[in-house]
Amino acid sequence: MTVLILWLIAFVLIAYFANKRWNSGVSQGLDKMLPSVMKSHGENRYLWISAMAVLGATTLVRPVDILLVGLLLALIGFLAMKLINWASSKANH
């Protein structure tokens, strides 16, 4: 129960401050990192704020879980790229 309360407090604070500073820097910083298809235009504002708040709160409360998920996703991506490269080399011959 304590972890849930801490997560909710972190979520609310991150969402509040991200929303408050959206026009003064958060959206510009987000747009620099994202491809053009995913840019944070006005209609996506609350979606991006909630996504950042969920990731931020989870990182603050359960950092090991985030690290393990990141490592797992990196491993899956690496294996997928190797499999795609192998399949494309077989298809060319």
Per-residue DSSP letters for 42-64?
Answer: GGGHHHHHHHHHHHHHHHHH-HH
Structure tokens belonging to residue 33: 């990192």
pLDDT digits (tens, 9 = 90+) for 12-36: 999 999 888 888 877 777 778 777 7
C-alpha to C-alpha distance for 3 and 62, rounded to whole angstroms: 9
Mean of the pLDDT values across residues 87-91? 87
